[in-house]
Amino acid sequence: MRAASSRSTGASAASWRGEGSLRSALPEGVFGLLDGVEARLREVGGAAPGGLARPALEALTSGGKRLRPLLLLLSAGIGAPVWEEALRAAAATEVLHTATLIHDDIVDKAKSRRGAPTTVARYGREVAVATGDYLFAEAFAALSSIGDPRVIREFAEASRGLAAGELEQFRASGGPVDVEDYLEHIKLKTAGLFRAACVAGGTLGGLSLPQIDALATYGQALGLAFQMSDDVMDLVGKPGIMGKGIGTDLAEGTVTLPIIFALREGDAETIRRVLATPRPDPELLEAGIEAVLDTDAVARTEAWAREEIGTALRGLEALPACPERAFLEVIAAEVVGRDV
């Protein structure tokens, strides 16, 4: 694992999926399991009924970091799992995540994701809703086949949180949001599934309750930092890497942590005008981005993300030293060092 940690922490967060990258430093066995996840995703998409097979397969194979299934596999590998069960749960985690993205794009009326048209943009609202519903059902069918109610309960709680978080974000779109509201939104909408993946993995690995609690702490803090990092990338990232344009959150009226800070410290009038304008023109959007970047909002958000990573790493201290724990530490470093 020393070779992995000596690599640039500015590598892409998706780098463990490519050859000659952090993927080569994955603990033995996880490499093949990730390939197994990909195969299962193709199976789920291809088995969709009626006219859903094509949109489901496209959604499941259109890229993505596969971070959540990786977290589950690494957490399980700290113990002694039945790997077939862990693989099934890891694939179900990605299927569930994909379902939430499809529904998220429907609510947001998003046109593109990962550099390609969204399911709703390509096939329409009715097909997109049905595809997302199918993937939710498939995810829980796979989880139920494992036969551990603790795992099902963990993902059910995460799914409830995702629904509540999406609704709260929609209601708050363009309106006043304080830091506490923001944190609650991202705990539900982003961190919950990170936490569930880690807890489910630890459960399937037969870890003790204190060890599972440590993984829960790690997963939630990592998820919070991941979302904060995404919020920063939306303002300063490279569109080719992100798969979307700069300033998407501002343009969609989504109030993120750097925007909250900038509203307090900078040209609040311009930022509010962008947030309140449906589909702002490029000139207005650029003015809003500059208004945020003229403050220390990005630096403050990055500092908060680093604090969450510190919490995540402290959580791992309760776990035995092993290659899986070491790679969880590498992932934490990658989240706050992503190439923007």
Phi-psi category of residue 126: left, alpha or beta, with phi > 0 → left and psi -120 to 50 → alpha: alpha
Structural domain tally of the chain?
1
What average pLDDT does the structure give for the chain? 87
In-domain check, residue 1? no
In-domain check, residue 9? no
pLDDT higher than 50, residue 44: yes
Distance CA 247, CA 258 (A): 12
Task: Specify the 3-state DSSP secondary structure of 29.
Answer: coil
The residue that leads in pLDDT, 244 or 283, is 283
Backbone phi and psi for residue 111, each to the nearest 5 degrees, phi listed first: -95, -30
Pick from 15-24, 137-146, 270-279, 294-303: least confident: 15-24
In-domain check, residue 59? yes
**Confidence bin at 64 (pLDDT 50/70/90):** confident
Pick from 53-67, 74-88, 155-169, 240-254: least confident: 240-254
The predicted model scores a pTM of: 0.89
**Confidence bin at 331 (pLDDT 50/70/90):** very high
* pLDDT at residue 7, as a whole number: 27
Distance CA 275, CA 267 (A): 13
Stated as kind and residue range, the H or E segment containing 112 is strand 112-113
Question: Which ranges of the chain does DSSP label H, i.e. alpha helix?
Answer: 2-5, 30-46, 53-60, 67-77, 83-108, 119-123, 125-146, 149-172, 179-186, 192-204, 209-236, 239-242, 248-251, 257-265, 268-276, 282-293, 297-316, 323-335
Contact predicate 2/328, CB 8 Å? no
Distance CA 235, CA 286 (A): 10
In-domain check, residue 302? yes
- 43: domain range? 14-335
Q: What is the CATH classification number for the domain harbouring 29?
A: 1.10.600.10
In-domain check, residue 340? no
In-domain check, residue 314? yes
Distance CA 46, CA 57 (A): 6
pLDDT higher than 60, residue 300: yes
In-domain check, residue 43? yes
pLDDT higher than 60, residue 129: yes
* pLDDT at residue 110, as a whole number: 83
pLDDT higher than 70, residue 134: yes
In-domain check, residue 231? yes
Contact predicate 44/36, CB 8 Å? no
Contact predicate 227/239, CB 8 Å? no
Distance CA 61, CA 251 (A): 27
- The Cα-based distances of 131 to 97, 135, 143 in angstroms read 13, 6, 18
